Amino acid sequence: MNNEKLPRVAYFCMEYGLQSDFKLYAGGLGILAGDHLKAAKELGMPLVGIGILWKQGYTEQHIGEDGYPYDAYRNYTRKYDFLKDTGVKVKVKIRNRNVYCKVWLIDNFDNAPLYLLDTDIPENGDRWITGQLYGWFGEERVAQEIVLGIGGVRALRALGIDVDVYHFNEGHAVLAAIELIREKMENQNMSFEEAWKATREEVVFTTHTPVKEGNESHDLELLMYMGANNGLSIEQMAQIGGVPFNMTVAGLRLSRIANGVSKLHGQTANKMWEHVDNKAPIISITNGIDRNTWVDKRIIEAYNKGEGLLETHNILKQELIDFVYQRTGVKLDADKLLIGFSRRAAPYKRSDLIFTNDEVIGNYLRSKKIQMVFSGKGHPLDDVGKKIVTKLIEMTKKYPESVVFLEDYDMTIGKMLTRGADVWLNNPRRPMEASGTSGMKAAMNGVLNLSILDGWWPEACIDGVNGWQFGDGFESDNIEELDKHDLEALYDVLLNKVVPTYYNDKAKWENMMRESIRTTYEAFSANRMLKEYYDLMYTKNKSTPI
């Protein structure tokens, strides 16, 4: 690629995971966005990020004495001495009041420039807007999306950054397109239809979740009250996003091309949104990870030398065991199989599936023949997610020497687990996992995936060679039937293949580690992903629907 001739991209996302204690992220969406910017920096691509400077981040989530998660918040921005003041402020209207957004620059985490909007400044009565990532109530969320979308476009103008393509990473950013439409109607005297059509030529869109609740909707009356319509009529807003206004539907109608984040997810997204008229074609670009952030250099050195891979892994495993001991006081056994599992606490991810039948799994856990380390957070307002965490805490009490939960899941915990576990367990209800980048991180570190054929894993899995599959791609709308089928498949593969290989055939295990690295290191890197975005989406007339 000749980078000088590439289109200049503005990448909009609500969250960014660049560094563990820079609290701009909640989970996988933000980690992906951070890796996107790091790949752009490494490859010298003309891309900038647009986001929000969150004062309190998402949440710190700790476990109370009753075993139930509780949330804590603090002002993180006081610690961020690396923020660079651009000297730029832009103005948006929210509830018919002027809100000023200060623009900060972040470029010190080996990332392409990231511009962050901040309303926590003296000029504002509404300083709270950029307080908590994914705010607690509807008005707050819409206000945040006005800042990100409308404020983000105005920040680009004020900074003098020319943009060819606006990439909306998930639906939170779609109000940026409403601003682009307004600009064209006011500055170029276009009609609404003309401005919409012209805006579509500048916008690309990524949809991430097959979970219905993850595709945000707002009442049109709320959007009008908040000023999110930005001068458009309620009828025009309905044309774009429907009634109620669905942010994903709007993203699909406001872009020239859209994508899912794995091949399977591309197919799922096309089925999910087939009823939407006037939408962009949805292709597939599988997510990738920033190897400099997530892959331990020692394991790659051993892989490249062709020797010492298992010994090096055992060093990383001991580091994880020491980390767990420091955090929990539980001393795991370095000679016993250690399974890692860290996910957002959501029902479809089935964090506690393995514990379903104590008659099958109990003796393995009591004898420590299988050890498990869990981590994850439930959304502050998600009682179901928090009950999942509580169930895992109960399992740590039932099996106190072999099951551990690491509270307040963050990038540091993610790195330790995806480097130090022996096996990475993933058991979502297919096809609800859009991608699943934690499995990629594990695979590149030689940690063997044991996973449902969902998300990215169908593209990578060579069963019994670079990891294991279970469930055989089975799908069912009957959740009880699906869970029963997948549980039996999990126990079968884990107890009859994984456990015997680990304890009885270390040579095969090491060969599988080597194949895991070989088959994933390039294919699931963020560099490959970003090149595909440029080739298939950012550069016009090169994309082909799946």
* 239 contacts: CB under 8 Å, gap ≥ 6: none
**308 and 189 in a common domain:** no
Q: How many domains does the chain have?
A: 2
CA distance 55 to 64: 24
Q: In tens digits, what is the pLDDT along the chain, a chain of 546 residues?
A: 567 789 999 999 999 999 999 999 999 999 999 999 999 999 999 999 999 999 999 988 999 988 888 888 889 988 899 999 999 999 999 999 999 999 999 999 999 999 999 999 999 998 999 999 997 788 999 999 999 999 999 999 999 999 999 999 999 999 999 999 999 999 999 999 999 999 999 999 999 988 887 899 999 999 999 999 999 999 999 999 999 999 999 999 999 999 999 999 999 999 999 999 999 999 999 999 999 999 999 999 999 999 999 999 999 999 999 999 999 999 999 999 999 999 888 889 999 999 999 999 999 999 999 999 999 998 888 888 899 999 999 999 999 999 999 999 999 999 999 999 999 999 999 999 999 999 999 999 999 999 999 999 999 999 999 999 999 999 999 999 999 999 999 999 999 999 999 999 999 999 999 999 999 999 999 999 999 999 999 998 654 433
Tell whether omega for the bond before 431 is within 30 degrees of 0, i.e. cis: yes
Print the SS3 string covering 225-261: HHCCCCCCCHHHHHHHHCCCEEHHHHHHHCCCEEEEC
Structure tokens at 474: 């089975």
Same domain as 318, residue 182 = no
Evaluate whether residue 541 is within a structural domain.
no
Question: How far apart are alpha carbons 232 and 195 in whole angstroms?
Answer: 12
Distance in angstroms (rounded) separating the CA atoms of residues 309 and 513: 8
The secondary element (H helix, E strand) that includes residue 195 is helix 192-200
**Residue 424 shares a structural domain with residue 282:** no
On whether both 308 and 456 belong to a single domain, the answer is yes
Q: What is the pLDDT of residue 422?
A: 98
State the pLDDT at residue 1: 56
* CATH number of 70's domain: 3.40.50.2000
pTM above 0.85, yes or no: yes
Same domain, 228 and 177: yes
In order of 36, 119, 123, the CA distances from 285 in angstroms are 13, 34, 42
The whole-angstrom separation of Cα 147 and Cα 153 is 9
DSSP alpha helices (H): ranges in 11-93?
Answer: 28-43
Whether 184 and 190 have beta carbons less than 8 Å apart is answered as yes
* Residue ranges making up the domain that contains 35: 8-289
Whether residue 305 is found in the same domain as residue 247: no
Tokens representing 318 are 């001991």
